[in-house]
Amino acid sequence: MSSNVKAQVAVSRQYEKENRTLAVWRRLRSNPGAVVGLIILAAMVLMMIYSFLFISYQDIYTINSKNRFAPPSSQHLFGTDESGRDLAKRIAYGSRYSLAVAFGAVAIGVIVGTFFGAIAGYFGGWVDNLIMRISDIMSSIPSTLLGMVIVTILGPNLLNLLIAVGVTNIAGFIRMARASVLTTKNNEYVEAARAIGMSEFRIIFTQVLPNSLSPLIVTATARMATSILAAAGLSFLGFGIAAPRPEWGALISGSRNFITYAPHLCTFPGLFIMLLAFACALLGDGLRDALDPKLKK
């Protein structure tokens, strides 16, 4: 009897999920903003792959003092920098840092934040209290400050930058996951699962969480945009990835001394940061509308 119910529950949820995913994808496709965002994001990823395959260390680090500060031309798409290096290639190479942060920092926030948020929401009581207090403390420190401090401790490299920005994302996800869990945990299928005898942990991760997917996706994409900007800002200040690595924020920082006669060194990296963040934001908005159509019109 119980296995039959289990099977039925599993089948019906599978069917529901498939249909729903298709419907969401269709809605997403018809949203022009989301499509643009997706295209830009795809282009960035392609650029990164291209840079892995075709842009070597030499291309971006060799100093060529004869060709310094060249403005954009057919030879150098975005011009050259103070050491004669081709800016376009450097930007393409630097895409890996921003994309890594976009996905990595959010992943940290999602994994850690959702885990603790779900536990807090599900178990309530002192566990909930403790986790929420910790989350409150974490949100009491402005993210830029926290990021600066973490990078200072751990050292300026990509991984630590990821962790620094990731940590600032955690509190938001804790709150979101907890709210989601609180609203769904009293639903009937959870009761049913408990009646069948599923362990509490399994219930959380197989029954409750999948239904909190929509707010999670929306928060995640929004956080991608903010993480990209945060990482660029930290690198700009010198906390994070530094020269000679061509991280976009660092590129802008490096261009400060030369802005009067080589403005292109500042313009293009910033444009790319903006484009990537914009793409994530568009995608995020599109996903939000696609996942919950009754909000629109």
149 sits near another protein (criterion: CB under 8 A): yes
Quote the CA–CA distance of 196 and 199 in Å, as a whole number. Answer: 9
Shortest distance in whole angstroms from residue 246 CB to another protein: 15
Identified binder of another protein from the candidate list 71, 142, 210, 244, rule CB under 8 A = 142
The answer to the question of residue 65 lying near another protein (CB under 8 A) is no
Using the rule CB under 8 A, give the single segment among 3-11, 82-90, 124-132, 151-159 that binds another protein.
151-159
Q: Which pair of structure tokens corresponds to residue 137?
A: 């403390």
66 binds another protein (CB under 8 A): no
Task: Give me 204's structure tokens.
Answer: 């959380």
What the block records as the tokens of 83 is 């050491």
Instruction: Enumerate the β-bridge partners of residue 80.
Output: 86
Of the candidates 212, 140, 142, 210, the residue with the CA atom closest to the CA atom of residue 183: 212
> Judged by CB under 8 A, does residue 23 bind another protein?
no
* Shortest reach from residue 102's CB to another protein, in Å: 12
Using rule CB under 8 A, residue 236 touches another protein: yes
- Which stretches of 76-140 are DSSP H helices? 87-108, 114-123, 125-140
Contact indicator for 237, 153 with CB cutoff of 8 Å: no
Residue from the set 255, 286, 287, 290 that interacts with another protein by CB under 8 A = 255
179 interacts with another protein by CB under 8 A: no
Question: Residue 171: which residues within 8 A CB-CB, separation 6 or more?
Answer: 113, 135, 136, 138, 139
Give the distance, in angstroms, between the CA of residue 35 and the centroid of all CA atoms in the same chain.
18
Can you list the positions of beta strands (E) in the chain? none
**Binding-site member from 71, 210, 244, 263 for another protein (CB under 8 A):** 263
Least gap, CB of 62 to another protein (angstroms) = 26
Our finding on whether 270 is near another protein (CB under 8 A) is yes
Per DSSP, 80 falls in state B
Q: Show contacts with another protein in window 215-234 (CB under 8 A).
A: 225, 229, 232-233
Among 133, 187, 194, 210, binds another protein (CB under 8 A): 133
Please identify which residue in 249, 286, 287, 289 interacts with another protein, judged by CB under 8 A: 249
CB contact at 8 A, 85 and 265 = no
Buried b (16+ CB within 10 A) or exposed e, 146-182: bbbebbeeeebebebbbbbbbbbbbbbbbbbbbebbb
The residues of the shown chain that bind another protein, judged by CB under 8 A, are 33, 133, 136-137, 139-145, 148-150, 152-153, 155, 225, 229, 232-233, 236-239, 249, 252, 255-256, 259-260, 263, 266-267, 269-270, 273-278, 280-282, 285, 297
